[in-house]
Chain A
Amino acid sequence: MSRIGVFVCHCGENISATVNCEKVAKITGELKGVEFSTDYKYMCSDPGQTLLKEAIKEHKLDGVVVAACSPRMHEPTFRKACAEAGLNPFLCEMSNIREHCSWVHPKDDLTTEKAQDLVRVMVEKVKKNKALNSIKVPVTKTALVIGGGIAGIQAALDIANCGHKVIMVEKQPSIGGHMSQLSETFPTLDCSQCILTPRMVEVAQHPNITLHTYSEVEVVDGFIGNFKVKIRKKSKSLDEHLCTGCGLCTTKCPQKKIPNEFERGLGFRPAIYVPFPQAVPNKPVIDRENCTYYIKGKCKVCEIVCPTKAIRFDQEDEIVEVAVGAIVLATGFDVLQPDFFPEYGYGKYKDVIDGLQFERLASASGPTQGQIRRPSDGKEPKKIVFVACAGSRDPAKGIEYCSKICCMYTAKHAMLYKHKVHDGTPYVFYMDIRAGGKMYEEFVRRTIVEDGTHYVRGRVSTIYEKNGKLIVRGADTLMGGIPIEIEADMVVLATAGVANKGAEELAQTVHVSYDSYKFFAEAHPKLKPVETNTAGIFLAGACQAPKDIPESVAAASGAAVKVAALFSNDELTRDPLVALVNRQPAPVFSTCVGCFLCQSVCPYQAIEREEIKNRNGEVIKTLARVNEGLCQGCGTCVALCRTKAIDIHGYSNQQVYTEIMALLND
């Protein structure tokens, strides 16, 4: 027989104005198994809580129902009070007779009856409640940062400077990301590499940071505080300890005509190469797809010229396993290849380039040493057209969203062009100018007013080549939509920023959700912008949505603080309201039949396979098992299980069944 206590709160007059609290306490006090019932003005006040605690002790209560406000408000309060009185906190439930009753119904008998019903439901539920213990998990105080662009660099440095270990994984041979490709940055026009390179070096030299370049994350297992990660270090065909980075091999490599990815195809590189002069680490890798030795079986010029004998043609990929407590995703973005716009002729006409290519043309370290030269014949373009929204805000052919950074970089491009080609005429076709940001609007105005860039409000319909000119056909919507044609020497398409190639696969590997554009999804768009729905995994930079440099850096520092906050605990405690698969004595072991249809519904990969073996070590049954560290308690598996082998604490089959019975059968 249960000994349950019912405590009905008046909440001042919030409840008692429409609900007869005394009556509720009296009637529910007569329910079977209710040992004690009372009503009180303010249950959550100190005297109210004291009343609760004393009643627990005095009446040896083994269950408590507090009929008051929403459990979302005060459940923790009353559970804590119960615990202080020696009652397991999970034997306390709340009936919501304020938000769901007194506030929404008029003062009449029905309202009081409803309150009684709600209390009765909880009394019956509590009878089926079980004493539970909180789950404690230890925290590994090492962070994994995936991606070595500006966001990853910032996050890694911030975490490392808090005194925690950081492992950074970068896919490319060098860290630096897209920012290292940029010429000058808006709105201050400071040189991108000048501000970025010192940070890259700091990462390489920081005692708390371990850097894995040319590496990718392959497997992520575990949960907050306790992730196990496998990193594939792709073979660089090089002994990094021996290599001094002298670069002799890169000058002697006979393969010289491989399109340079860093230069966006505007320059060439050898098969053994350092992506760019300021690379970190400044050591080459062999691109096996283009290396003569790997293609034809002979060459080895690099091996012959290497003064330290560091080349290793037979080097294999290496798998590194690490344990980390938190993960920061900073994998950045990609630019949408504009070839889906056949009417713009990208790829067909050499002088139609994208924004990132223009950055390389404008960069002092780029293929033209910063001179604006068109790719087809190396001539200086005298008339140049910038096309904004080339892919953005275009549900038909591109992407639906605004890429956010293009307005600013296009204005910057026009300005840089004008600074370098004084007698040139830049045109910008745009739809709206979105320049919200510190000193952004002023910057755009300068481009228009001081540098005389012609801004035309309209979209370009088509671009074609005729007599060595690019005919750009657009319309001026501010003139009522009249068509205009510009004979340009070069066209720059402000292509959209999109999720990185492989973002979807990485999200699945890491188990974070992503939006329909394959950008990683934050836990809450406003209040949890750097958290993901998976505890312990955070977001930094443009892997979440297009972001400019200041925003990426801010998000990275935000993510770093979240990691540091997590690492300030030695262990984590969580509510034990998790699912579990029943266990029974042999030979049944469990009523689970191992169909594992529950596995794919679990958003947290918390359902594992457990093999039951006999004495000879043979597997005789395979059962589902819930990893309580991973389970977040949604209960979707419970609803799906045909044999009712899975159940969930706090919302068990017995509990909800009893609730319905109690609610409908008065």
Chain B
Amino acid sequence: MQEFEPKIVAFVCNWCTYAGADLTGTSRIKYSANVKIIRFPCTGRIDFMILMKAFENGADGIIVSGCHPNDCHYSTGNFHARRRWIVFRNLLNFTGIDTERIQFSWVSAAEGFKWADVVNNTVKKIKEIGPYENYKKIAVSTLFNEEGASNE
């Protein structure tokens, strides 16, 4: 059986984690190719719905990462993001969505190693827990419903 290669999408801020990931590259630290980055100006910009869309479209894991507290390029965006994630995580847990699949982290522009660690550990963890069948199932059954509807 072919090894499960999870799809992981990373939402990162431009100033710290994106730059940190650049440093990972410049330092030639290897990490798994499963993770693909989408750049945002700031973690404050990352709408919670973006995370929902990612799961819905087949992501098995998500990384959200930005500047450490007090280091935000815009001074407070990450603080607001942190509050948002505290609440959103509560809600996801309560609705039975697997928050284990979302890794939040602070990775600064200097933490090239940390970025590689975050990516590798997340990939490792998602490989362990497997594909996000639950979410995919509702996506599939939806498709089935729609087809069913059109057949009638």
Which residues of chain A have a CB within 8 Å of any CB of chain B? 70-73, 96, 98-101, 103-106, 110-111, 114, 117-118, 121, 513, 533, 577, 601, 603-604, 632-636, 638-640, 648, 650-651, 653, 656-657, 659-661, 663-665
Residues of A within 8 A of B48 (CB): 639
Flag if A634 contacts B33 (CB, 8 Å). Answer: no
CA distance A98 to B27 in the complex (A): 12
CA distance A665 to B21 in the complex (A): 24
Residue contacts A-B, CB under 8 angstroms, 26 given: A70-B18, A96-B22, A96-B37, A99-B21, A99-B23, A99-B25, A100-B21, A100-B22, A110-B5, A114-B36, A601-B44, A634-B41, A634-B44, A634-B77, A635-B40, A635-B41, A635-B77, A636-B74, A648-B41, A650-B41, A656-B47, A660-B53, A661-B53, A661-B57, A663-B38, A665-B57
Name A100's contact: one of B9, B37, B74 (CB within 8 Å).
Answer: B37
CA distance A638 to B75 in the complex (A): 17
Flag if A664 contacts B7 (CB, 8 Å). Answer: yes
CA distance A604 to B24 in the complex (A): 32
CA distance A639 to B76 in the complex (A): 14
Name B75's contact: one of A106, A533, A650, A653 (CB within 8 Å).
Answer: A533
Q: When A99-B22, A99-B25 are in contact, do A117 and B36 touch as well, CB less than 8 Å?
A: yes
Flag if B24 contacts A638 (CB, 8 Å). Answer: no
Name B74's contact: one of A72, A603, A657, A664 (CB within 8 Å).
Answer: A603
Name B41's contact: one of A114, A513, A577, A603 (CB within 8 Å).
Answer: A577
Nearest B residue (CB) for A635: B45
Name B38's contact: one of A106, A121, A638 (CB within 8 Å).
Answer: A121
Q: Nearest chain B CB to A586's CB is how many angstroms away?
A: 29
Flag if A664 contacts B59 (CB, 8 Å). Answer: yes
Residues of A within 8 A of B9 (CB): 660, 663-664
Name A72's contact: one of B22, B46, B73 (CB within 8 Å).
Answer: B22
Further contacts, 15 of them, CB under 8 A, given A636-B74, A639-B45, A664-B54: A72-B22, A100-B21, A104-B33, A105-B31, A106-B30, A117-B36, A513-B75, A634-B44, A634-B74, A636-B77, A638-B45, A653-B47, A660-B38, A660-B53, A664-B59
B26 at the interface (CB under 8 A from A): yes
Flag if A634 contacts B45 (CB, 8 Å). Answer: yes
Residues of B within 8 A of A96 (CB): 22, 37
Flag if A104 contacts B57 (CB, 8 Å). Answer: no
B126 at the interface (CB under 8 A from A): no
* Tier of interface size on chain B: 35 or more
Nearest B residue (CB) for A640: B80
Flag if B25 contacts A104 (CB, 8 Å). Answer: yes
Which residue, A72, A121, A634, has most C-beta atoms of chain B within 10 A? A634
Secondary structure call for the A interface: helix
Residues of A within 8 A of B28 (CB): 103-104
B107 at the interface (CB under 8 A from A): no
Nearest A residue (CB) for B29: A104
B116 at the interface (CB under 8 A from A): yes
Name B30's contact: one of A71, A105, A633, A650 (CB within 8 Å).
Answer: A105
Residues of B within 8 A of A100 (CB): 21-22, 25, 37
Q: Nearest chain B CB to A93's CB is how many angstroms away?
A: 10
Q: When A72-B19, A664-B9 are in contact, do A632 and B74 touch as well, CB less than 8 Å?
A: yes
Residues of A within 8 A of B58 (CB): 664-665
Q: When A99-B25, A648-B41 are in contact, do A638 and B74 touch as well, CB less than 8 Å?
A: no
Q: Nearest chain B CB to A526's CB is how many angstroms away?
A: 12
Which residue, A604, A636, A650, has most C-beta atoms of chain B within 10 A? A636
Nearest B residue (CB) for A102: B25
Q: Nearest chain A CB to B92's CB is how many angstroms away?
A: 16
Residues of A within 8 A of B116 (CB): 104
Flag if A603 contacts B76 (CB, 8 Å). Answer: yes
- 68-121 of chain B: CB within 8 A of chain A: 73-77, 80-81, 84, 116
Nearest B residue (CB) for A577: B41
Residues of B within 8 A of A71 (CB): 39
